[in-house]
Structure 1
Amino acid sequence: MTAAARPLPRAQAGRRSTRRRLFWLAAGLALLALLCALSVAVGTRDVGGNDIAAALRGRVDTIARAAVAARIPRTVLAALAGAALGVAGAVMQGVTRNPLADPGILGVNMGASLAVAVAVAFFGISSAQAYVWVAVAGAGATAVFVYAVGSLGRGGPTPLKLALAGVATSVAFVSLVLAVMLSHSEVAGGLQSWQIGGVGGATFARMVHVLPFLAAGFAISLGCARKLNSLALGDDMAAGLGERVAPARGLAALGAVLLCGATTAICGPIAFVGLMVPHLCRLLVGVDHRWLLPFSALAGACLLIASDIAGRLIARPSELDVGIVTAFVGAPFFIWIVRRARVREL
């Protein structure tokens, strides 16, 4: 084989990999479109195509069309929240090089939840915009705290220490949220339903306040894809390639915090989406974050919409909040990841 012929197999492999990724991208977009249609059509009252078309034109003169009008923002919110949590999970796993990293497991979601609960109970905040700022601040403070605790001792911030610090912090914050609700009965009802995590009652007016935070989070996270690829090689190798490790890690973490805080502010804490989605996407598109992050957004949107549909069908004519459904699915997945990763070696 001549020297000129040697790169050919690698080029062919690269083209096959790109074609495979494009195939899965088209399949994911088709699945997302199908799930969006089902989310609008399926619920306590099933509706047909004529009612959906009429509701899209602004006609809500029947119960079925009014149901469609209420489900459209709910579907949009589920897609946005799922995409945000999927990308945040992939970024956190890349920043910490921890296969167990997830906004829920690392306690970031519960940090945002506790901040909102304290602000509502003690400071009387009520505007959607204030919710977002408080949730983002709580998520950021918790991320710093968990990383600091996980960095103590010999070996620095190992995956196992970060996971244990996050779980312990999350459990402690759940207890504090319950204490706040028990001592402030006037806000306990609203906080309790929000604490479960769901997309019911969504409106476009409420979503407007979180869109700038989500847009900034997506932009920062996607812009850090190459940096995350460098960090995956290890700090020394990344520094040798010219990457400024600490700023790169901090910027990527900021994107994840913005996505987690904004999502928690409007939906409540939803766990396990950021854990499951990146692992599944790696099986399809590999570890390159330039592909992994967009696919995580797409898969996260599909997962949360599907979970919302399942919650409506399982408990018909009532419904289960999406946070309950993702917990049922995610807990076994978490156990499988721990066993597969051989937690003793983390």
Structure 2
Amino acid sequence: MTSLPLGADGLVDRGAVPLSDFTTLRLGGPAARFLAAGSAEDVVAAVRAADGRGEPVLVLGGGSNLVVADEGFDGTVVQVASQGSKIDSLGDGRVALTVEAGEDWDAVVCRTVEAGLGGLECLSGIPGSVGATPVQNVGAYGVEVGQLLISVDLLDRVSGEIRTLGVDELGLGYRTSVLKGTERAVVLRVRFELADGGLSAPVRYTELARVLGVRQGRQVPVDLARAAVLELRRGKGMVLDEADHDTWSVGSFFTNPIVLDRDLAEVSARIAARVGPDVPVPRYPAGPGASKLSAAWLIERAGFAKGYPGDGGPVALSAKHTLALTNRGRARTEDLLALAREVRAGVQAAFGVELHPEPVLVGCSL
């Protein structure tokens, strides 16, 4: 990944640059123009100026959730590189953490753990920037950003105003929000409510509880929870490593599918016919009248093993986790999309379940 030096005014114009240098997939063609904005004010100025010229604008954070076309982006890319954070007491052992959108997410989580603040530790090791977390309602190991979010400051590109939206105004759901899939707003900073006491959030995720050696619902010291989460993520190739192609990905490429209860009997019958009637199927509550299935489990049972299609190709499923589609070092974006289409079609044919991509697709589609 590439970081840019910031000029005295906090705004750097690099002209046309390959976007593969700024995505965790290391894929994507050139941007017509690339601006790095070192403050929220610079982000606002750059976006407003490009909007005023009628140019397409792509707002770029950590590049961990982007699939950019081989043709690149014929417009202005504004990299949010703003830095800074502050902590304010809310009383009763609670604090408000305000963070600029350009801060590296895992670095922020690490600092909260070092300060003995609980809440974000289960979201350790997730690549990307702070500003992207409420857009995607990022979640892992039983915790979602929406559970900790107070509000976001954003640029409303329709009105041109700077606005603050509370958590209840963001329409947060499973890996989504009202901000996802729209270009009408740019997140400038985010506020979280955390606990000041050195203990984690209650451990809800079975796998994490097992690694920590505690019952679900118990709390542990925040540093122990972070270490356990990082251990689990590294075992799945989900912690960035320049030398490991298994981490050249966007993390989970597909979201876990939500199946309505009225359709569950048919889906269950197809699963039983494929894998046998006595095989337990991972299934989780997903709100009234719906269940969430494991995308990774479905992918593997549809015939796509870890490492598929094997050594030597430009792309493959991670050798550690079937949900990660990886660039093996010489891929094109179209190679990755072809593999994604193959996996999606295979799961659809086997189980009648449609998988949906988690990353933002720029100039391309499935």
What TM-score bracket applies, with the shorter chain setting the length?
under 0.3
Which structure would you say has the larger RCO, counting Cα contacts within 8 Å and 6 or more residues apart?
1
Task: Name the one with the larger strand percent.
Answer: 2
Q: TM-score, normalised by structure 1?
A: 0.26
Q: TM-score, normalised by structure 2?
A: 0.24
